[in-house]
Chain A
Amino acid sequence: MSNTSVSQSKPGNAPTHKVNWGRLEEAERFSELVKQYRQGKISRDDFRRFRLQHGAYGSRMTDDYSMIRLKLPAGEVYAEQLEKVADLSEQFSIGSAHVSTRQNFQLHWVALEDVSEVLRGLAEAGMTTREACGNSVRSIMCSPLAGVCPDEIFDPTPYAVAATKFLLRNPMCQSLPRKFKINFTCCEKHGMARMVDIGLIPQIVEINGKPQRGFKVFLGGGLGAQSFVGHQLEQFTSEDELLHTIVSVIRIFDRLGNRDNMARARMRYLVNEMGWEKFQNLVLKERAMLKMLLSILIKLEVDKTPDVLRKISISSEVPSVPQGFARWKKSNTFKQKQPGFSSVFLTLESGDVTATQLRAIAEMAREFTADGQIRNGFTQDMVFRWVRDEDLPRIYSKLLEVGLANPGALTMASVVGCSGTTSCNLALTNSHRLAKEVQRKFIELKIDEDDDLRNSTIKISGCPNSCGQHEIATIGFYGGGGRLGKDMYPLYTMSLGGRSDEDTTLGHSCTKVPAKRVIPTILKIVEIFKSEKKSGETLDLWIRRVIEGNGGPNIKSLETIKDLLKSVVSAPTKDQDEDFYADYGSDGSYHTKTGRGECAA
């Protein structure tokens, strides 16, 4: 069969990916192992381990479909790569891709038989899924504002990329007791350095009169059924010691992590059980030994050549300012430290984006950004960086055309929701859809315009595990089931006061809220806050005051809030309100059903 050949020339001088993370032979091997598995030549468990190591999860109630998770180190993705993801989502998935809270794309409901084709396509565009799941070092995150944040000491991106180069496919990372997560952030505010196995914040100190680059290193934090805040290893970890430190921590975790009880296998449990001081000593000793033994063998190759920024041609016509621009600009753009440039955040719904939208985003990255790339963010969002301030009305107009111009990205109106019952085996509720519903309502109510609420967050998980990161939300929810008589209904546990900045705190459990009462409950909390707040006080700070037992004349503590919410959260009978008993996205009666957890393999 001969094909009409069409040359696809792309306009401009858009940069393409610098590091090829993909390996074609891994796609071929995957295809081979699916065949062997289907023929019964390898066991289900062996195959499962292999599948997870290559970024393919099972789907809700079935192993015949996979959720494929890409590994995008530092969340970096180039225009041509976005187009590839768009094509693959259309061909093999559901025509939409999903942005995770760890900066990766996920493609859902891919037939197991097609996973190898997706891996092949990704490898062709320099991307991989290797070690995106399973008991490995997961994608190394880096704040989407790294390099442009006014508060950062230096850009940590090259370090995140270099660490990935060292750790990806490294034999020492192939069979850890459990998954292992590393985050770099730009500054204290924009990242989650204390909520992860290893968190790193750039720092410069003067040593013998010379400025020396390094990091604040936090160990043993993490969210989950039991969450912990990370501990700072030492005052300053120099960049020369960075790789030795990371390797030491991984080696200790590998040796001492709990391999008997999967529910206690994450490193934060090891740190907690051993006690911080003992763990800290072990790391420092391990590092000293490694430095003596391996100083020549391991070296972090940090590519410090600055990215070439392209000249973006600015059209001379003065654009008419589209309706809604001012509101959008206020909530979706961020002034970079480089004068004249802004970063632009896209408000997605629970991180979902269609193939058509991805192609449009790729085009916009080529047209408007000086670095020609996109960074996926920490809150199921996507970020254009290096956009000229004069171009903001134009990029807004383009976003409007493809339904991506919703305001609210950097405000409480942008809600995080894990995949929930849309695809996850462990989910008890449809947190994914609930997050979309809350967001739609809040944008309609213009909550993004309220300065008192801007820096608060709402995050929703579909079960007590923390993929939706509910514990670091100002208002967080995790799903479960409630019952009135014999009738079950979807029910969330609400926690208040979580945050992930330098004052990292886990939310305090407040009360249980039925799924269909989540929106009125949040609105009621806002109402109470408005009547109790001090002048200039924001919601998150007021909630902190409530937790400290000092919420205002009428609010003694979280208990008072719980009492005030009683009428909102009470359950009607099924005769009174049948809809109350159905979860979002379902019309039938609610029942809980779960399968085996996939992340725990």
Chain B
Amino acid sequence: MCSLSKEKTTQVTVDADKLRSEIRDKSVKVLDIRKEDDYKQGHIPGAINLPLASLLADDSPEKVLQYAQSFGIGDETSVVVYDDTFGALASRVAWTLEYIGHKDVSLLDITYGTWKKLGLETSSETPSAVKTSHSLKLQPQILATSDYLVPAKEKGAILVDNRERLNFLEQHIPGAINIPYRMLASGQNILRPKDDLKRLMQNRNINADSEIITYCGSVGTLSGLGYYALKSLGMNNVKLYVRSFKEWKSLEKPIEKQNDANYWDLSAE
């Protein structure tokens, strides 16, 4: 996995200015992960719509490969993904592309809502794409399965739950630590600056070489964002438990809970 030859550095996030110039140069494919209706009302110029629900309907590698090829994404194509949901849906798609072996994929560092608020250009035209070919090289080292979790934990892997605090207290995978997805963002950016994130991880005694598995409630979106937050720090041994807590519960595996406290009653929601 670790080759010394050509190591292309892919940025985890791309800022609006860089994306705009890449769009002008036509050197990038942009994916919009919002619902089709929202997309039709306006999107970043040139963006192709891939609603998360469509992907989740069948996220087998073969199907994902089909999507990529139909969008004109080749092995070397730069891809930038965005959404309007904290970057979590975009992260899930980016991870999926990474999993089938696409290396050059980044997240836009703001949501579409912020893009619009900044007054940046939008379009309602649907671009046409020329089909291309893409190879399939699965990257199992970024995927965690339910069977993998327990032995990995025993060997020292850190299990990170990216759901909100109250959900975590209520129930979680035994031994997991909680890094709520809200902690990862700052201001209008979907991820905090690197130094900030680094400090948060150091406070938790998480080191650059730790093995980390992220998970969330159901389909690996919030934990997808967690995955990329860690990747942005240059951590390379990060995995996404993509089927997450929903699967864990359905398998009736052990669950841990913060007992004897009525914390839900503190919420003013």
Q: Which residues does A use to contact B, with CB under 8 Å?
A: 1-4, 6, 8, 31, 34-35, 38, 59-62, 90-96, 98, 108-109, 111, 113-114, 116-117, 348-349, 352-354, 357, 419-423, 430, 432-433, 436, 583-586, 593
CA A2 to CA B18, docked complex, whole Å: 10
Chain A residues lying within 8 Å of B13, measured Cβ to Cβ, are: 1-3
B210 to chain A, nearest CB (A): 14
Of B178, B199, B260, B261, most buried by chain A (CB within 10 Å of CB) is: B261
CB atoms of B263 and A352 under 8 A apart? no
Of B18, B263, B265, B269, most buried by chain A (CB within 10 Å of CB) is: B265
CB atoms of B193 and A61 under 8 A apart? no
Of B165, B187, B188, B259, most buried by chain A (CB within 10 Å of CB) is: B165
CA A139 to CA B12, docked complex, whole Å: 44
* Residues from 105 to 158 in B contacting A, C-beta threshold 8 Å: 109-110, 114, 117-118
Give the residue name and chain of the B residue nearest to A90 (CB): B182
Q: A109-B166, A116-B203, A430-B265 are in contact. List 6 more A-B contacts (CB 8 A).
A: A2-B15, A61-B258, A93-B165, A98-B266, A113-B203, A422-B263
Chain B residues lying within 8 Å of A111, measured Cβ to Cβ, are: 177-178
Chain B residues lying within 8 Å of A93, measured Cβ to Cβ, are: 165
Chain A residues lying within 8 Å of B263, measured Cβ to Cβ, are: 94, 108-109, 422-423
- Given A1-B194, A95-B267, A430-B265, does the pair A62, B258 have CB atoms closer than 8 Å? yes
B76 to chain A, nearest CB (A): 23
CA A31 to CA B205, docked complex, whole Å: 11
Chain A residues lying within 8 Å of B258, measured Cβ to Cβ, are: 61-62
Sampled A-B contacts (6; CB under 8 Å): A1-B193, A1-B194, A2-B13, A6-B114, A94-B166, A423-B263
Of B12, B185, B263, most buried by chain A (CB within 10 Å of CB) is: B263
Chain B residues lying within 8 Å of A35, measured Cβ to Cβ, are: 203, 205
Interface status of B57 (Cβ within 8 A of chain A): no
CA A310 to CA B180, docked complex, whole Å: 40
- Given A1-B191, A3-B15, A593-B260, does the pair A433, B203 have CB atoms closer than 8 Å? no
Interface status of B70 (Cβ within 8 A of chain A): no
Among candidates B17, B259, B264, residue contacting A61 with C-beta atoms closer than 8 Å: B259
Interface status of B183 (Cβ within 8 A of chain A): yes
CB atoms of A433 and B189 under 8 A apart? no
CB atoms of B200 and A117 under 8 A apart? yes
Chain B residues lying within 8 Å of A349, measured Cβ to Cβ, are: 268
Among candidates B11, B117, B178, B261, residue contacting A59 with C-beta atoms closer than 8 Å: B261
Among candidates B110, B118, B269, residue contacting A95 with C-beta atoms closer than 8 Å: B269
Chain B residues lying within 8 Å of A583, measured Cβ to Cβ, are: 262
Chain A residues lying within 8 Å of B203, measured Cβ to Cβ, are: 31, 34-35, 113-114, 116-117
Chain A residues lying within 8 Å of B200, measured Cβ to Cβ, are: 114, 117
CB atoms of A1 and B204 under 8 A apart? no
- Given A92-B183, A95-B164, A108-B266, does the pair A422, B261 have CB atoms closer than 8 Å? yes
CA A490 to CA B31, docked complex, whole Å: 56
Chain A residues lying within 8 Å of B165, measured Cβ to Cβ, are: 93-95, 109
Give the residue name and chain of the A residue nearest to B197 (CB): A1
Lowest 4 CB-CB distances: which A-B pairs, in order?
Answer: A352-B268, A585-B262, A433-B265, A60-B261
CA A421 to CA B260, docked complex, whole Å: 8
Among candidates A4, A31, A109, A354, residue contacting B16 with C-beta atoms closer than 8 Å: A4
Among candidates B12, B178, B261, residue contacting A423 with C-beta atoms closer than 8 Å: B261
Please report whether the interface of chain A is mostly helix, strand, loop or mixed according to DSSP: mixed
Chain B residues lying within 8 Å of A593, measured Cβ to Cβ, are: 260
- Given A96-B267, A113-B204, A114-B183, does the pair A4, B262 have CB atoms closer than 8 Å? no
Interface status of B223 (Cβ within 8 A of chain A): no
Give the residue name and chain of the B residue nearest to A62 (CB): B258
CB atoms of A6 and B118 under 8 A apart? yes
CA A432 to CA B18, docked complex, whole Å: 50
A408 to chain B, nearest CB (A): 16
Chain B residues lying within 8 Å of A114, measured Cβ to Cβ, are: 183, 200, 203
CB atoms of A585 and B182 under 8 A apart? no
Give the residue name and chain of the B residue nearest to A6 (CB): B188
Interface status of B169 (Cβ within 8 A of chain A): yes
Q: Mark B200-215 against chain A: 1 for CB-CB distance below 8 A, else 0.
A: 1001110000000000
CB atoms of B260 and A38 under 8 A apart? no
B180 to chain A, nearest CB (A): 7
Q: Mark B4-15 against chain A: 1 for CB-CB distance below 8 A, else 0.
A: 000000011101
Interface status of B232 (Cβ within 8 A of chain A): yes
Chain B residues lying within 8 Å of A348, measured Cβ to Cβ, are: 268
CA A422 to CA B267, docked complex, whole Å: 10
CB atoms of B268 and A3 under 8 A apart? no
CB atoms of A423 and B266 under 8 A apart? yes
CA A94 to CA B180, docked complex, whole Å: 10
CB atoms of A4 and B266 under 8 A apart? no
CA A67 to CA B141, docked complex, whole Å: 38
Chain A residues lying within 8 Å of B17, measured Cβ to Cβ, are: 4
CB atoms of B189 and A3 under 8 A apart? yes
Chain A residues lying within 8 Å of B189, measured Cβ to Cβ, are: 3-4
CB atoms of A60 and B267 under 8 A apart? no
CB atoms of B261 and A421 under 8 A apart? yes
CA A31 to CA B264, docked complex, whole Å: 28
B222 to chain A, nearest CB (A): 14
CA A108 to CA B200, docked complex, whole Å: 18
Chain B residues lying within 8 Å of A98, measured Cβ to Cβ, are: 266
A492 to chain B, nearest CB (A): 16
Give the residue name and chain of the B residue nearest to A38 (CB): B205
CB atoms of A420 and B262 under 8 A apart? yes
CB atoms of B114 and A1 under 8 A apart? no
Among candidates A4, A8, A421, residue contacting B110 with C-beta atoms closer than 8 Å: A4
Give the residue name and chain of the B residue nearest to A349 (CB): B268
Among candidates B178, B199, B205, B232, residue contacting A1 with C-beta atoms closer than 8 Å: B232
Chain B residues lying within 8 Å of A421, measured Cβ to Cβ, are: 260-262
Chain A residues lying within 8 Å of B169, measured Cβ to Cβ, are: 109
Give the residue name and chain of the A residue nearest to B258 (CB): A62
CA A96 to CA B165, docked complex, whole Å: 11
CB atoms of B199 and A117 under 8 A apart? yes
CB atoms of B204 and A96 under 8 A apart? no
B114 to chain A, nearest CB (A): 7
CB atoms of B16 and A432 under 8 A apart? no
Give the residue name and chain of the B residue nearest to A583 (CB): B262
Give the residue name and chain of the A residue nearest to B185 (CB): A91
- Given A3-B193, A38-B205, A117-B203, does the pair A432, B259 have CB atoms closer than 8 Å? no
Give the residue name and chain of the B residue nearest to A31 (CB): B203
CB atoms of B266 and A432 under 8 A apart? yes
Chain A residues lying within 8 Å of B15, measured Cβ to Cβ, are: 2-4
CB atoms of B269 and A4 under 8 A apart? no
CA A421 to CA B261, docked complex, whole Å: 5
CA A196 to CA B166, docked complex, whole Å: 35
- Given A60-B260, A593-B260, does the pair A1, B11 have CB atoms closer than 8 Å? yes
CB atoms of A422 and B182 under 8 A apart? no
